[in-house]
Structure 1
């Protein structure tokens, strides 16, 4: 192997440890910044379509509480995460359907906890939950 070529295994490990969207793998970001790399600067989930995220309804606990399976290969995985009903405080994109969310729409969001989950800024429209089938 030429000295100028990077070993594919080393590249794979670097991408997995720092996130596939980081422009400079060698920079010294904090762990929190690295795990939120796919979300952008503010920690909110990206608004574009995501091929690496799978969001599934597991159970409707009550009319205002659901259990969600959130699997994102670039940031986090929650096998059974509790989401609470609320009104959207900001506009965004539904993590389940990809539909536009407007401020004031009825949504579900991850339950508040300390430390905050990586996907704390994510939202799912209540209408997407209403039509989803539990897995």
Structure 2
């Protein structure tokens, strides 16, 4: 089965896995979520807890890529340009942001960022 089948026809791929006719995707071919200003519209984010000014527990749900019920995010400085996952505001290198903690396996949303000022103003438990 071609790799295009995995992307274009996920249900056919799942049924072929169940029937024993396909091999699972290798980990290396799984891609990260590419976050753009427009893609944030499909993402649901809830700030569940704040652990002081340096970390927060976030619920992240992206209907096309991943779901993390209790993901630890840490405060730091943006290393590259991007977009705030909550507001779509452009982020430049050096901005104070929150990012998912790097663990193994690498989270699909590892490149996501939320501006620190936005995270601090977000009420706990409120869906964004």
Structures share fold, TM-score greater than 0.5: yes
User: For each residue in 1:56-83, what CA deviation from the matched residue of structure 2 results, as whole angstroms up to 9, or x when unmatched?
Assistant: 2111112100011100011100011000
1:46 equivalenced with 2:44 (yes/no): no
TM-score by length of 2: 0.73
How many pairs does the alignment contain? 108
Cα deviation, residue 48, structure 1:
3.0
Would you tell me which structure has more helix in proportion to its own residues?
2
TM-score by length of 1: 0.70
Cα distance in 2 for residues equivalent to 1:29 and 1:79:
24
**Structure 2 residue matching 1:129: 3-state secondary structure:** helix
Gaps of 5+ in 1: 1-10, 18-27, 37-42
**8 A Cα contact 2:50 2:56, kept in partner:** yes
Q: 1:126 aligns with which of 110, 113, 116?
A: 116
CA-based RMSD: 2.4
